[in-house]
Amino acid sequence: MMKLKTRWTYNYKKGMQGPMVSNDYYIEGDKLYFSLAIGLSAFDSVLLELDLKTQEVRTVFEEKHVMRTAGIHENGKIYLTTLKGMAYCVNLDGSICWSAELGSTNASFKMALDEDRFYVSDYSIFCIDKNTGEIIWKNDTFKAKSNCNIIYDENYIYGGESGGHVFCLDKFTGNVCWAYGKDEWISNVTLLDNNRLLVNHIHGKLYILDAKSGELICTKKSKGYLYTVPVFENTRMYIADADAVINSKSGNMTCYEWTSETDFKEIFSVKAGGGVSTKAVIDGNRLFFAAEDNYLYCVDKNTGEELMPKKKTKGICRNIIVCEEQLILLSDKGQVECFEIV
């Protein structure tokens, strides 16, 4: 069976209470970028650059309010937001290109970067000129907080609310094109193609909507609560879940096969000892995921067969990175673990 051999570990300010890793990361060359909310109340944040060859760490940017993201990186610039309601564009040396005050207290969740525009989904949806920081438009139609990602195509923006609607906006004006449902708790939206939008409801429902009209095409039920983004490969879809909103005791990584444009069937499901805390990460035939039981799992992506004994992690793993037979784990205790796959 496959095994993991420890190469190195990194611990941010060892012994400090409360570091929490961001829900995403960025790699450029040998540099890994990720953010940490630090301190007991988690109200300070740092964006770090970790050299994967030397393990040297550099602080790129510091903020007095939480950054729940490593930002979006493009051409040597990083676009990010904070709980203070600020949006920033910073250079890799930490200097600020521009800042924009969004006037919110929760503008740190979901972002998207277009060719010329930077979109932020919060209690409001903002469109910002990515070169100047000027707010081009703001939509206040949907007042519920958004923990859902935002995505876009050539003409539209799609997103969802926590206790509200799934919505579609005109990308250029911010006007509402359609809104579906009410009191919906949406965790993720995914464009399957130009005509279909897959919607993950936190409470274990999967919707397929007509992307142009917002009309419901079909509804499916998952095994548990849905938080992470589905992962697609050819005709298969991998979805992680948990048995509870908090303090989950079990979860599943389930593989589905699309049988038509509106239906799919279960191929296999792997049970974990806690809610699954990462999306599926596929490397060749291997499928990696981690769970809130502080274990890493690896199974065959086609059959669900175990490929290695589950591996204890240093805290709840939020991100899994596979590169050149190396496996890197980012946990919510500020730990970075690097393993050789043998």
**pLDDT on residue 103:** 78
Residue 308 has pLDDT above 80, yes or no: yes
Query: What CA–CA distances, in Å, run from 263 to 111, 153, 335?
Result: 30, 23, 40
* Percent of the chain scoring above 70 in pLDDT: 92
pLDDT (average), residues 299-319: 95
* Cα within 13 Å of Cα(327), Cβ side: 24
Report the C-alpha gap between 148 and 112 in whole angstroms.
12
| CA distance between the termini of the chain | 9
Report the C-alpha gap between 148 and 206 in whole angstroms.
14
Q: Worst-scoring range by mean pLDDT, 147-151, 257-261, 269-273?
A: 147-151
pLDDT digits (tens, 9 = 90+) for 133-162: 999 999 988 866 667 889 999 999 999 887
* Percent of the chain scoring above 90 in pLDDT: 58
Q: Are the C-beta atoms of residues 60 and 78 closer than 8 Å to each other?
A: yes
Look at 108 and 27; give whichever has higher pLDDT: 27
Mean pLDDT, the chain, rounded, equals 88
- Long-range contacts, stretch 339-342, CB < 8 angstroms, 24+ apart: 339/4, 339/5, 339/6, 339/7, 340/4, 340/5, 340/6, 340/7, 341/2, 341/3, 341/4, 342/2, 342/3, 342/4, 342/5
Model pTM above 0.75: yes
Query: What CA–CA distances, in Å, run from 322 to 161, 234, 326?
Result: 32, 20, 6
pLDDT digits (tens, 9 = 90+) for 18-54: 567 777 788 888 999 988 877 555 567 888 999 999 9
**pLDDT on residue 298:** 98
Which residue type does 49 have? E
pLDDT digits (tens, 9 = 90+) for 201-243: 988 889 999 999 999 999 988 888 998 889 999 999 999 999 9
Query: What CA–CA distances, in Å, run from 68 to 63, 114, 137?
Result: 11, 20, 23
pLDDT (average), residues 249-277: 94
pLDDT (average), residues 88-117: 84
Report the C-alpha gap between 250 and 275 in whole angstroms.
5
pLDDT (average), residues 271-292: 96
**pLDDT on residue 183:** 76
Residue 67 has pLDDT above 80, yes or no: no
